[in-house]
C-alpha cells in the first residue's frame, strides 16, 4: 500500500491503474468498522481502492469539535492496509486549501438549510461539498463510497454531482452499527461509559418510529413525539427529530411513500446523529 500527500502524487500513483476501476472511500480518519465496511464494498467492485484521510476544517462549525476530533493516522494507515486499500491520500490542509484559495461549492435550498444545516450553519455543507468535489477531482474515481448514517451529507453530494455533471457513481452503504444498535462513529470514543449506555436510546427511538409506521401510523407529528419520548427518557439533549423526504429533506407531514426519520442529540460534549428509512407498506 502507498501513502501519498499531494494531489500530484495521487494522480501519479493512479496512472495506469484505471482499467479495472477506481473506488474512493473519503474519510476523516479515526477509522472504525463502518469505514472498513465501505472499503470492503469498494474492494469488491474496484480494481484500485483509494482512501482519503483528511480532517476537513471548513465543515466544522465549532472550533472545539475540530480540535477534539481524533487524529490517529498511524493506526488508520495500518488498518487501511489490512483492509485492502491500495492508496491512502492523506493531504495537509495547505495542500487542499493552498494560499489564496477563494472558491466554495454551495448547494442551495432546504437540503442544506434544514436539520444539520440549521444546527451547524450553512457553511457546514459548503465545506462538505467543496472538499468532496476536490477529492473527486483529485482521484477521478469511477465510484465513491459513503455511509447511510450521514444521509443529509450524502444527499448534498448527490445533488452536487448531478448538478455539476461529475462523472462518478455514488454507492451508499448501510449504516454500520454496534451490537446494541448504536451507529458507529469516530465521535463515539468521546462518550463516557454512562453516556455510552444512554446513547442506545438513539437507535431505540428510530426502532420505535419504524415499528409505529409498520403498525399503520402515518402522522409525522405523532411519530416525532414517539421518538422524542424515547430520547428524553434517556436524558439526552434533543437537537431535532424530523420526518423528511430522503432526497430533498423537505418536511413530510403524512407518510405516503418512502421517508426518512432523522435525529440529532447531545450527550455531554458529544453530538450524535442517526436516521432510518421509513417504507410504509414495505414499499
- Active-site positions? 35
> What are the percentages of helix, strand and coil residues in the chain, rounded to 5?
45, 20, 35
Distance CA 227, CA 273 (A): 13
DSSP tag of 218: -
User: What is the SS3 assignment for 72-83?
Assistant: CHHHHHHHHHHH
Angle at 4 between CA 41 and CA 45, to 5 degrees: 15
Angle at 101 between CA 88 and CA 167, to 5 degrees: 55
| Residue stretches of the annotated binding site | 28-35, 59, 147-150, 153, 184-187
Using an 8 Å Cβ cutoff, are 87 and 25 in contact? no
What beta strand segments (E) does 120-221 contain? 143-147, 169-173
DSSP tag of 257: S
CA distances from 199 to 64, 65, 68, 182, 203 (A): 21, 19, 19, 7, 8
Q: Provide φ and ψ at 128, rounded to 5°.
A: -65, -50
| Residue stretches of the annotated binding site for beta-alanine | 59
Distance CA 145, CA 127 (A): 18
Using an 8 Å Cβ cutoff, are 135 and 51 in contact? no
CA distances from 47 to 16, 89, 96, 132, 144 (A): 11, 17, 26, 21, 13
Using an 8 Å Cβ cutoff, are 276 and 238 in contact? no
| Residue stretches of the annotated binding site for ATP | 28-35, 147-150, 184-187
Amino acid at each position: 500500500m502507498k501513502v501519498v500527500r499531494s494531489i500530484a502524487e495521487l494522480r501519479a500513483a493512479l496512472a495506469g491503474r484505471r482499467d479495472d476501476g477506481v473506488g474512493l472511500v473519503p474519510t476523516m480518519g479515526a477509522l472504525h468498522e463502518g469505514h472498513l465496511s465501505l472499503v470492503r464494498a469498494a474492494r469488491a467492485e474496484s480494481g484500485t481502492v483509494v482512501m482519503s484521510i483528511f480532517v476537513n476544517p471548513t465543515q466544522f462549525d465549532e472550533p472545539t469539535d475540530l480540535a477534539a476530533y481524533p487524529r490517529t493516522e498511524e493506526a488508520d494507515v495500518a488498518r487501511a492496509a489490512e483492509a485492502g486499500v491500495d492508496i491512502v491520500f492523506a493531504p495537509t490542509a495547505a495542500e487542499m486549501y493552498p494560499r489564496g484559495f477563494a472558491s466554495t461549492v454551495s448547494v442551495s435550498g432546504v437540503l442544506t438549510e434544514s436539520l444539520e444545516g440549521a444546527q451547524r450553519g450553512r457553511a457546514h455543507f459548503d465545506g462538505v461539498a467543496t472538499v468532496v468535489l476536490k477529492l473527486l477531482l483529485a482521484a477521478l474515481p469511477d465510484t465513491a463510497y459513503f455511509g447511510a448514517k450521514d444521509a443529509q451529507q450524502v444527499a448534498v453530494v448527490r445533488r452536487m454531482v448531478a448538478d455539476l455533471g461529475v462523472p462518478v457513481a455514488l454507492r451508499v452503504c448501510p449504516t454500520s452499527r454496534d451490537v446494541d444498535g448504536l451507529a458507529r462513529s469516530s465521535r463515539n470514543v468521546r462518550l463516557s461509559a454512562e453516556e455510552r449506555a444512554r446513547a442506545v436510546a438513539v437507535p431505540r427511538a428510530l426502532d420505535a418510529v419504524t415499528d409505529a409506521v409498520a403498525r399503520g401510523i402515518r402522522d409525522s407529528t405523532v411519530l416525532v413525539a414517539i421518538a422524542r419520548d424515547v430520547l428524553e427518557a434517556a436524558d439526552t439533549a434533543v437537537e431535532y427529530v424530523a420526518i423528511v423526504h430522503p432526497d430533498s429533506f423537505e418536511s413530510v407531514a403524512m407518510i405516503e411513500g418512502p421517508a426518512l426519520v432523522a435525529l440529532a442529540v447531545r450527550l455531554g460534549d458529544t453530538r450524535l446523529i442517526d436516521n432510518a428509512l421509513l417504507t410504509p407498506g414495505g414499499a
